[in-house]
Amino acid sequence: MRALVVSALAPDFAGCALTELPVPQPGPGEVRVRVRAAAINFPDLLQTRGEYQYKPSLPFIPGIETAGDVDLLGPGVTGFAPGDAVVGHARIGGYAEFVVFPVADLRAKPARLSYAEAAGYGVAYLTAYVALVRRARLEPGEWVLVHGAAGGTGLACLDLARHLGARVIAASPSEAKLEVLARDYAPDAIVNTSSGFLEQVRGITGGRGADVIFDPVGGDVFDESTRCIAFDGRLLVVGFTSGRIPTIAVNIPLIKGFSVMGLRAGEYARRFPERGAENQAAIWALAEAGHTHPRVDREFPLAEWRAAFARLTDRQVIGKTILRPDL
């Protein structure tokens, strides 16, 4: 089978190469899946440089999220049959024509979602759900400012916040991206952050500020967010795509009465397994019912992995970029 293999940790994906490998065989309690779609997430790219929290041993195949068809069952597996459309989640392995999963890491693909939509759904919407429901305890009618609203997790947060009855401000430095979000997701307001956003957010919220701020960007965006958050607000630290990890003097949240909350959806599930299972059930039930609307930006054949990675690193994406090992 063809697979994208990381054999060395290096910048500019220099340690990655498309490689021919033996097709893996499922063991007891495992299922082999023919991959139809694999999502690209920032952690996948960080892993190729050894810059993510989870550091697999070399060589490895990256790829957290996949969707495809059951190809072969290992001994003792029940609940699935060859040909079933499934979604799989693992720390690595997705950028290949075949991948083996423990049966516990698979679920049926919602019929409403395409393979590409399903592959890019879990991480983004789980992050949004843990952020808004578990950490921020969002209430209907509250103002939510979503930074990086055109990215995978940002767009999921925008989409879910609307479903939960919040008033949503979509923020991005790209006017073109904001136009797409306004057309397809109907946030209550849009804010171009290229020259600051403090006064815009204050004006939109009647001077109150945003009750919840979802920040996967960090850097200057975090700094300015501390100035336009409402009293008793919740500022969610999701990531640092700007490249700068910001700091804050603790007298600022003391005086303004807001909370700074860290968010790692996967770690939340590891710490609270029962809640983690509830979170997964909740987001996939929303997908089954058609209450969420994931967006696929573009699909690339596996052989064009470098162009697909560049689309993400160059911030061209609205939604999710997908690799297609079956092409």
Q: What is the CATH number of the domain that holds 203?
A: 3.40.50.720
Q: Is there a domain that residue 23 lies in? A: yes
pLDDT given for residue 266 in this prediction = 87
> For 75-91, how does the pLDDT look when each residue is reduced to its tens digit (9 = 90+)?
999 999 999 999 999 99
Q: Is there a domain that residue 229 lies in? A: yes
User: Where residue 16 sits, what CATH number does that domain have?
Assistant: 3.90.180.10
pLDDT given for residue 286 in this prediction = 97
Q: How many domains does the chain have?
A: 2
Q: Is there a domain that residue 209 lies in? A: yes
* Phi-psi sector, 257: left (phi>0), alpha (psi -120 to 50), beta: left
Q: Is there a domain that residue 284 lies in? A: no
Instruction: Clarify whether residues 153 and 208 are in a common domain.
Output: yes
Q: How many angstroms separate the CA atoms of 90 and 104, rounded?
A: 11
> For 115-174, how does the pLDDT look when each residue is reduced to its tens digit (9 = 90+)?
999 999 999 999 999 999 999 999 999 999 999 999 999 999 999 999 999 999 999 999
Instruction: Clarify whether residues 57 and 191 are in a common domain.
Output: no
Q: What are phi and psi of 2, to 5 degrees?
A: -90, 140
pTM for this one?
0.94
Instruction: Clarify whether residues 170 and 97 are in a common domain.
Output: no
* Domain housing 94: 2-121+294-324
Instruction: Clarify whether residues 166 and 196 are in a common domain.
Output: yes
Instruction: Clarify whether residues 263 and 144 are in a common domain.
Output: yes
> For 228-278, how does the pLDDT look when each residue is reduced to its tens digit (9 = 90+)?
999 999 999 998 888 899 999 999 999 999 999 999 998 999 999 999 999
Question: What SS3 class is residue 249?
Answer: coil
- At which residue do the structure tokens 């700094």 appear? 223
Instruction: Encode 163-189 in three state secondary structure.
Output: HCCCEEEEEECCHHHHHHHHHHHCCCE
Instruction: Clarify whether residues 142 and 216 are in a common domain.
Output: yes
Instruction: Clarify whether residues 136 and 176 are in a common domain.
Output: yes
Distances (CA, A) of 76 to 25, 68, 185, 252, 276: 14, 21, 44, 57, 26
187, 167 contact by CB (below 8 A): no
pLDDT given for residue 241 in this prediction = 86
